[in-house]
Amino acid sequence: MTEMTEATNMETSPVENNNELALITPETQPKRRKKKSMVWEYFTIETVSAGCRRACCNRCKQSFAYSTGPKVAGTSHLKRHIAKGTCPALLRDQYNNQLTPYSPKTGGGEPRKRRYRSPSSPFIPFDQDRCRHEIARMIIMHEYPLHMVEHPGFIAFVQNLQPRFDKVSFNTVQGDCVATYLREKQSLMKLIEGIPGRVCLTLDMWTSNQTLGYVFITGHFIDFEWKLQRRVLNVIMEPYPDSDSALSHAVAACLSDWSLEGKLFSLIFNHPTSEAGLENLRPLLCTKNPLILNGQLLLGNCIARNLSSMAKDVLGAGHEIVKKIRDSVKYVKTSESHDEKFVQVKNQLQVPSEKSLILDNQNQWNTTYQMLAAASELKEVFNCLDTSDPDYKLAPSMEDWKVAETLCTFLKPLFDAASILMTTTNPTAITFFHEAWKIHADLGRSIANDDPFISNIAKSMLEKIDKYWKDCSLILAIAVVMDPRFKMKLVEFSFTKIFGEDAPTYIKIVDDGIHELFLEYVALPLPLTPTYTEEGNVGNNGKTDESQQGNLLSDQGLTDFDVYIMETSSQQMKSELDQYLEESLLPRVQEFDVLGWWKLNKMKYPTLSKMARDILSIPVSAAAPDSVFDIIIKQLDEYRSSLRPETVEALICAKDWLHHGSEESNALVKMEF
């Protein structure tokens, strides 16, 4: 029954007969039906004239059309007046925590259960547990303090928003956050358990104002869709971060927590590690994991830490000049009048530079480089600033500016390389092979410079890039070989630039290493271990359908033929690796997807693609994107370090997992089974 029919039945109108009103006595008057719509708690029907009635709002006294003769307006517009909040009197009532349109009280009794639900604002039942869950997610994602749930301002806000919400304590919300962490961890564990390749780990050591250490362990792996994934796995508190056993203890805890024994491929650390510390790590990793290439790929250094260390040396060599320029920039930037005079001089001299002066953050070397680069382009302005501002007496000399430009020359390639870690979602070893060998070659030429200042800086930097190259060149080179645009050709070219006449020796090391590594993958036990089971075999746990293969397995007629093939072809048949290396290089397109290429060619190179999957998952940096340019060790804030270590781990890991989204992980897990 429509609202119009309902409204017609609810009201008894005068009977018209020959334009005359027929009087109906109480005895003959039809029995009125009680109005059921909630609007009649807010409206009263008033007769304006014969055959015309209007509905008057009891709160704001506004009048609305109801009926004119046989035409009835219905109640929809009356409901909108109440439900949409257009009634000013109701708005005042809601502001004062009075009755709302959705919970009217009659006669001091319980609220009526029937409530109006408009299509644009559907009724949603209150759920205390869901609200607590969303508060926990909010705290995790935005790093709010757990104590905020006990702050008077937050309590007042929630009570005005939903009076039925029960207050939660610090301990309650802490438990909710840990519960969110555990739910997300289960999804991630299913994903990691089913990936077809190995996992690489990066270790980043943080400190705190209590001198406690926190080891951030991040896992890197390639999923079934050949997409490189990165997840924070653990944040482990170490009471003695400088001890030789700190890193080995953290790694052992991670391997046990995530069941990674036998699946670890490489380990990159962003913390100066002593030889004793490395000696503690090697036996642990060797007993928990099969040796890959005699462990030559197992341990590596963080490129971000090495770049920061070299940049620190450069700035240290010219620290007096850097301070002079910083003081000049500070003089201009900390006073509005000084800044205006600086701009006036720049305009008068018509200096073409578009750069703006910045004052650096001395904990991040990139800001110091940017300060020096901008100031050097505006050096003419600084030299002439005293003509319009007699108070300025800090102008560096021409010799100082020459030194600053030299510092910028050394810092620029470091800045460009480190910026890749900031701008690229998942920078690969292939990219940093290019950067590392170019920096190495440039420094080799700079050592021969006649200027002792330049040659000394180059010598200090070359020692550090040499050590990094010694530790990581094999990893970087093998990764380049797995790029069909370069293969061994780029290794041969770059090594010739770096090592000169000794290049063939180092090229042979890479060539022998990659062939030995390939043979290790060929020798994997059959049937394939779960770690290397491909997507197509996951549904039946790697087992072959006997109904399809039974005839072939029982057919002994071709046994002699198989022997013949082996005897006549063993010498001529080339391995997948040799076939791959001998094929022509692909064009060097800018937006080339290496992992996508291997995904398309995994059937052509079944064994080599498994090797490529592991190699291309090796990260080059253990530093978080916001820590790439740090000169000092990252420090956990005072609030976080006051929490229990388990809570700190839950908050940091859960934030990372929620950022990536659990839905993506679940979708990948479903593909496995």
Domain coordinates in residue numbering, the chain: 39-73, 177-302+633-661, 303-423, 426-524+594-620
User: How high is the mean pLDDT of the chain?
Assistant: 80
Position 672 pLDDT exceeds 80: no
Task: Say if CB 258 and CB 625 are below 8 A apart.
Answer: no
Count of positions (residues) in the chain: 673
Q: Per-residue pLDDT averaged across 192-215, rounded?
A: 91
Neighbouring C-beta atoms of residue 448, cutoff 10 Å: 9
For the ranges 153-167, 289-303, 480-494, the lowest mean pLDDT is seen at: 289-303
Q: Quick one: how many helices (H) and strands (E) in the chain?
A: 27, 11
3-state SS, residue 104: coil
pLDDT higher than 70, residue 190: yes
Q: How many CA atoms lie within 13 A of 661 on its CB side?
A: 4
**pLDDT interval class at 186 (50, 70, 90):** very high
**Is residue 664 over pLDDT 60?**
no
Contact 373, 334 (CB under 8 A): no
**pLDDT tens digits for 444-475?**
889 888 899 999 999 999 999 988 888 888 88
- Distant-in-sequence, close-in-space partners of 324: CB < 8 Å, separation ≥ 6: 394, 396, 400
**pTM value?**
0.73
Q: Looking at 135-139, 446-450, 468-472, 597-601, which range is the least confident one?
A: 468-472
- The reported pLDDT for the residue numbered 389 is 83
Q: Check the CA dihedral 283-285-289-293 and report its sign.
A: negative
Q: Which of 49-53, 404-408, 632-636 has the highest mean pLDDT?
A: 404-408
Pairing label, strands 228-238, 213-222: antiparallel
Q: Give the N- to C-terminal CA distance of the chain in Å, as an integer.
A: 52
C-alpha to C-alpha distance for 440 and 442, rounded to whole angstroms: 6
The tokens 């930037």 sit on which residue?
333
Give the model confidence (pLDDT) of 41-60 as tens digits.
788 888 888 778 888 888 78
Is the C-alpha dihedral spanning 412, 418, 422, 427 positive or negative?
positive
CA angle 371, 374, 375 (to 5 degrees): 80
**Per-residue confidence at 3, pLDDT binned at 50, 70, 90?**
very low
C-alpha torsion 498→266→478→524, nearest 10: 150
User: What is the Cα–Cα distance from 419 to 272, expressed in whole angstroms?
Assistant: 22
Q: Which residue bears the tokens 């937006």?
A: 591
Edge to edge, the sheet with strand 52-57 lists: 43-49, 52-57, 63-68, 71-72
pLDDT per residue as tens digits for the range 355-391: 889 999 999 999 999 999 999 999 999 988 888 888 8
Residue reference for tokens 């800086």: 457
Other CB atoms within 10 Å distance of the CB of residue 538 = 16
Cα(44)–Cα(57) distance, integer angstroms: 7
Gyration radius from the chain CA atoms: 37
For residue 1, pLDDT over 70 is answered with: no
- The least confident of 104-118, 161-175, 444-458, 465-479 is 104-118
Q: What is the mean pLDDT of residues 402-406?
A: 95
